[in-house]
Each structure stands twice: as C-alpha cells, then as structure tokens.
Amino acid sequence: MKTLKNIPITKIQRASKLVQTGAKVGVNYLKYYGDKMVNPIADAKERLDESNATDIYDSLKDLKGSALKLAQMLSMEKNILPQAYVDKFSLSQFSVPPLSAPLVMKTFKKSFGKFPNEIFDNFNSEAENAASIGQVHRAFKDGNSLAIKIQYPGVADSILSDLAMVKPIAMKMFNIKGEHSDVYFKEVEGKLLEETNYLLEIEQSLEVVAACSHIPNLKFPKYYKEWSSQQIITMDWMEGIHLSEFTKINTNQDLANTLGQALWDFYLYQMHILKKVHADPHPGNFLVSEEKKLIAIDFGCMKTIPEAFYKPYFELFNKDILEDSKLFNNKLLELEILRKEDTKEEVDFFTNMFHDVLSFFTQPFREETFDFSDPNFFDKIAAIGERYFKDTRTRNMNANRGSRHFIYMNRTFFGLFNLMFDLKAKNIKIENFKSL
C-alpha cells in the first residue's frame, strides 16, 4: 500500500481537494447520462454509484481526519446509502493509506523528544493498519508486544473547517433544516474533538477496562500512560482478526452466540450501569482472539448518558408506555421529539412515525431471548425507516426532532444491532447484564 508524505492541513488545501472530487463526480454524471441512453437505467445507476463512491472515498482517504470519519459513520447507514457507497466507505474502518515513516518519526519527536527506537526495543516504521484519525504500528518493549496508535498531523485543527464543508451535504442527507441544526452539529463537533484527544482516550480506556473486565468472553488490551501523549497511545498488541473478517468465515453457531452475548452484555452494561457507552460500534473496533474471545479496542468516542435523557429514552422501550397514547406523547415531549408549538398535523405525523419505529426497534427488549440473525426483523425496521425518509411530509416539515443525545445513542444501537446481525447471534439473553 502506498504511504502519504503529507496530508492537506489548511482549509484551502482541504477545500481544493473536495472541489477536485466534485469535478470528478460531475464527469461521472455526464457519463451516466450517456450510459442510460443505451443501457438499462438500473445498470447505469449502479455504475454511477460505483464510480462516485470510488472517487469520493479516494479523496477522503487522502484527507483523513473528520472527513474520513464521516465516511466511516456513513458506512454504517446501510439503509440510507447505495450498497456501492457502503462497501467502499467501510474500508475507512481499518484500511486506508498510512503516513510515511518520516512523518511518524516527526510525531514521536514532537511528543516525547525522542524517536521511537530510543523508547522501544524494536519499532516497525511500517503501519500495521490505518484508519480515519490515526494509524497503528507494532513495537516491542521488555519482551512485551505493543500496539502504538499515532494520530495524523493536523487532524484536530481541521475538524471545524471539515464540518463546515460537509455540513450542507449532511443536512441534505439527513433532512436537517436550518432551525435548531447547530445543536446537533455541536454534538458531533464535540465528539470528534474528543476523539483527537488521546490523553482523554487513555483515561476512558482505563475506566472501561476497570468496569467491564468481569464480563465473560470479553478481553481488553492493557494501556500504558507513560508511553502515551496527546497524539500517541501505547497499548498491548492483541492478536486476532477483525470482526468483519470473522463473520465472513465463521460456521460455528455456538461461537457466534457466545461472542454475540459478550458484545450485547458489554453494551447493555455500559448503558444501564455505567451510563456511559462506547459510541463507535463498527467492526474495526472489535477483534476475535485465537482463544475465541471478543476483544474491544478504541475508546476515543464515549457518550455520557444524562439521567434526564436516560429515563424517558429507555421508558419508551416499555410496552405499557408504547400502548398508552398519553404516556407515550409525554415521553416524546420530554425527549424533544414533539414540541408544544407543533400543529396537530405535526403531532399526529411524528407520533405515528416514532410509534411505528419504536414498536419494531424495541422488540428485543420485550423478550427474554432474541434471535439477531432473523433478517425479517431488520427488513421491517429498514422498510419503516425508508418509508418515512422518502415521505414528502418528512421533508416539508421541520424534521429536526429529538434531543441532541439521540445522535450517538441511536448510532450506538443501530451499530450494535448491525454487529449482532453480522454475527448471526441467536438466543441472546437480553437482560443477562443484570446478573454479571
């Protein structure tokens, strides 16, 4: 894989890169108009999506930072994006061009006043893998095999300008109107800034490890504060394969169930006991060890769940509240889904929409065990989401609905559900976390 000798850092450099990409997309559309005149429209559209996905991803992987992080987030939105985009953007989870060795050395020197070969007994200057915000190198110290995560230069400084550039695209894609939109973007901005603070990530990692190490079939790396800084994190090297690779080859249903239970317990324990959750559940953040244990890594994105949000949010999972229209509407008001100034049409529309979605989405929580391998469950959720997403009333109304906390809570749940489905986990004990 090629390495990058530099990364566009300034606003002008990054904007120029996106403009170039826009020009390529424009050419793709011109080709598409000619293609569909002589070939089936569906085939032409598929080729257009593949070309655009490739060009956009090639641009974002060179930009890195929050622009590439956005692609990673979008890769989890399997019901919104065409498959070509999902497939291409999924690469951002663990496979992008790494920094060149000189840039790595420069980052070490800046952080510790020393080069890596002066700190470790052995350091591999070639990256083992690279993602949106940083890349991982392997090192050895006192007989221990270590993973060294190094943040790309300029990532933290470019977040605000990146978000400003992608904001119009995100607003269009998710139907975010001008009113109240800043609240949601501030939430995203804050989380992205936190992910560039590696000192904070170390503290969060140590906190999660201490609180969740008792969960069966779950492993964590050991973290080393003395060899970590604002841009570098040192932890144990964990042997295993990415969860996405494991799900492609696994044929052992009992193992899938065991790993699925560990994953489910991990998230439910965080949500209900810690009230703080790993809000980035994509396959690149989980490994399966040689001992067939689930390994959780990368705690840069953690979402604290305020009690004022936690209580009404999880009360909506209760069948009695779902079936009581008055109680249900009160919870929607508490969660800012409904507003006192809403018209009757808006109240009726959004009440029905959220009732439809929640009735299916919360189904696992009304059962003792659940089969996450059932495609019908996910197809129904997807169908409901697609129906309302395409509904003209959704686009015509002020659709900025819900507390800002929904952004990462919903992302967490949908990500978790997708991982459980990929594992094809069955017979999952829903409230098992209570007995751990």
- Beta carbons of 394 and 388 less than 8 angstroms apart: yes
Per-residue pLDDT reduced to its tens digit, 288-325: 999 999 999 989 889 999 999 999 999 999 999 999 99
Structure confidence at residue 346 (pLDDT): 87
Using the structure block, give the residue that is written with the tokens 């809570």.
409
**DSSP secondary structure letters along 351-378:** HHHHHHHHHHHTGGGGSSEE-TT-HHHH
| Of residues 272 and 184, more confidently modeled | 272
CB atoms within 10 A of CB 374: 13
Question: CA dihedral defined by 270, 295, 201, 160, rounded to 10 degrees?
Answer: -90
**φ and ψ at residue 340, rounded to 5 degrees:** -60, -25
Task: Report the candidate in 96, 97, 66, 70 with the shortest Cα–Cα distance to residue 85.
Answer: 70
How confident is the model over 333-345, as a mean pLDDT? 90
For residue 173, name the pLDDT band (cuts at 50, 70, 90): very low
If one compares 36 and 72, the residue with the highest pLDDT of the two is: 36
As a whole number of angstroms, the distance between CA 106 and CA 111 comes to 9
- In sequence order, which residues have a C-beta less than 8 Å from that of residue 245 and are 6 or more positions away? none
Question: Could you tell me the sign of the dihedral formed by the alpha carbons of 336, 338, 343, 345, in that order?
Answer: positive
Give kind and range of the element (H or E) at residue 304: strand 302-304
Question: What torsion, rounded to 10 degrees, do the Cα atoms 386, 389, 391, 396 define?
Answer: 180
User: Quick check: helix, strand or coil at residue 327?
Assistant: helix
**Contact assessment for residue 14 and residue 161, using Cβ atoms and an 8 Å cutoff:** yes
